[in-house]
Structure 1
Amino acid sequence: MPNQTLTNMNPYGSPLPPPPGVLYDPVLPVPDDKTCFALWEQFDMLDNVAEHSLMVAQVATFLAEHAVKAGLPVDVGTVRASALMHDIAKTYCIRHGGSHSQLGGSWTLELTGNPVVAAGVTHHIYWPFELDLHKYFTQLVVIYADKRVNHTTLVTIHERFQDLIVRYGIPDHYQDRIRKTELQALNLEAMLCNTLKVDLNACDFDSGRMV
């Protein structure tokens, strides 16, 4: 078997197929908020998971709107839908085990018929491909938005990852995986700041106000 590189592997070493390299296809169905909320109810989403998902969607929507202003061919509804759906399988996996990102991506594709929205769900923990905002804006922004929200509180990327280490008691010899995802998130943040001309560490993601 040929050696796999980080361009097609997650931090745990599993090879992954390439995601759809498209920002937006007007033919694809895009679920609105009402549809996403109904799916939350269908899958019995916990209240705290729903609150987190709403906050992540707020951050992702803010970034998508600024991307449109910056001239990127981004569909705000697609980005928002992917963010709202990113933890659709979280409650099930808390109760029964499994990968909530992989299962959630599969569910989202089946439920919405939109591979772009689904890819943002599948890959919202780590992106094993090139960091290309023009090609993968939806997926990358869902990753970043999730890394800025700890439960329902807006935090820095470093604070988010420190909480993961402490909350789950991750031992030192496993923390390299966490650090790898943290480094990716920091690189993505720098790209977004440069592309969107916004200081994302001085923004509350609410109507563009700075903090």
Structure 2
Amino acid sequence: MTHTTTTNHWTLPEPPPSRTDIPVPDEEQCLALWDRFEMLDNIRRHSTCVADVATFLAQKAKDQGHDVDVQLVRASALLHDIAKTYAILHGGNHSQLGGAWMQEVTGNPVLSSGVTHHVYWPFAIDLENHFPQLAVLYADKRVRHDTVVSIADRFEDLIERYGSTEYIRRRIQATMDQALEVETAFTRFIKVDLNEHTFDCGRME
């Protein structure tokens, strides 16, 4: 069943589930895209750590028999902030820009939707159909700069840095609530207590 989300102006179609007939960029190709889009070094370190966390989730799920494309998850995570440097320098929504760029460059709608929706997922939390996108979203919520932290610590930092108005603080709180919901879903799906898990970027166990 296809879900849609209605905004004030339009209805968003739910992204397609993963497919195996669309090429996925490998590690070398992802790093080449970092260079092409002039990604700053600190964003590269952040993206690497997010990719390690997302890859851990994907590999655990695959090991337990779930149909998960580990490289698709990793590539989506490596590229989730591909437009962050541009947005810092010129403005714009980095997730929407990045998603559009990655759709054009890779032709992979699952990867690009993972980039577009890595800040907030506006659909039902369905790991069977949307594992890659939700893995990227969750991994991003566990990494502050290039260090893995709890969701609570990650959002405390976001509120301190960006919570200048009550409206912004409410938006951040809504995003945190969703991140906790996604964490619960992943904990049940891969049978790992993620709230207690201390990921070590570059050395996943």
Bin the TM-score by the shorter chain.
over 0.9
Tell me the equivalent position of 2:48: 54
- Tell me how far apart the structure 2 counterparts of residues 198 and 178 of structure 1 sit (CA, whole Å): 26
Q: What is the aligned counterpart of 1:74 among 58, 61, 68?
A: 68
Q: Could you tell which deviates more after superposition, 116-125 or 13-22? A: 13-22
Tell me the equivalent position of 2:92: 98
Residue 148 (structure 2) pairs with residue 154 (structure 1): yes
Number of residue pairs aligned between Structure 1 and Structure 2: 201
Tell me the equivalent position of 1:199: 193
- Tell me how far apart the structure 1 counterparts of residues 42 and 89 of structure 2 sit (CA, whole Å): 14
1:19 and 1:119 in contact (8 A); partners too = no
Return 5+ residue gaps in structure 1 as ranges. 1-5
Shift of 1:208: 5.0
- Tell me how far apart the structure 1 counterparts of residues 136 and 107 of structure 2 sit (CA, whole Å): 18
Return 5+ residue gaps in structure 2 as ranges. none
TM norm structure 2: 0.92
The 3-state SS of whatever aligns with 1:203 is coil
Letter in 1 for 2:15: P
- Tell me how far apart the structure 2 counterparts of residues 160 and 195 of structure 1 sit (CA, whole Å): 23
The 3-state SS of whatever aligns with 1:17 is strand
Tell me the equivalent position of 2:129: 135
Letter in 1 for 2:131: F
**CA displacement, residues 42-91 of structure 1 (integer Å, 9 cap, x when unaligned):** 11100000000000000000000011122211000000000000000000
- Tell me how far apart the structure 1 counterparts of residues 9 and 133 of structure 2 sit (CA, whole Å): 19
Query: Closer, same or farther in 2 for the Cα pair 1:122/1:194, shift >3 Å?
Result: same
**CA displacement, residues 100-149 of structure 1 (integer Å, 9 cap, x when unaligned):** 00000000011111111101000000000000000110101100000000
- Any residues of structure 2 matched to 1:36-51 within 5 Å, and which? 36-51=30-45
- Tell me how far apart the structure 1 counterparts of residues 193 and 112 of structure 2 sit (CA, whole Å): 28
1:105 and 1:122 in contact (8 A); partners too = yes
Query: Closer, same or farther in 2 for the Cα pair 1:169/1:130, shift >3 Å?
Result: closer
Letter in 1 for 2:150: T
TM norm structure 1: 0.90
Shift of 1:18: 2.0
Shift of 1:93: 0.3
**Cα RMSD over matched residues?**
1.7
The 3-state SS of whatever aligns with 1:202 is coil
Tell me the equivalent position of 1:17: 12
- Tell me how far apart the structure 1 counterparts of residues 140 and 9 of structure 2 sit (CA, whole Å): 22
Query: Closer, same or farther in 2 for the Cα pair 1:37/1:159, shift >3 Å?
Result: same
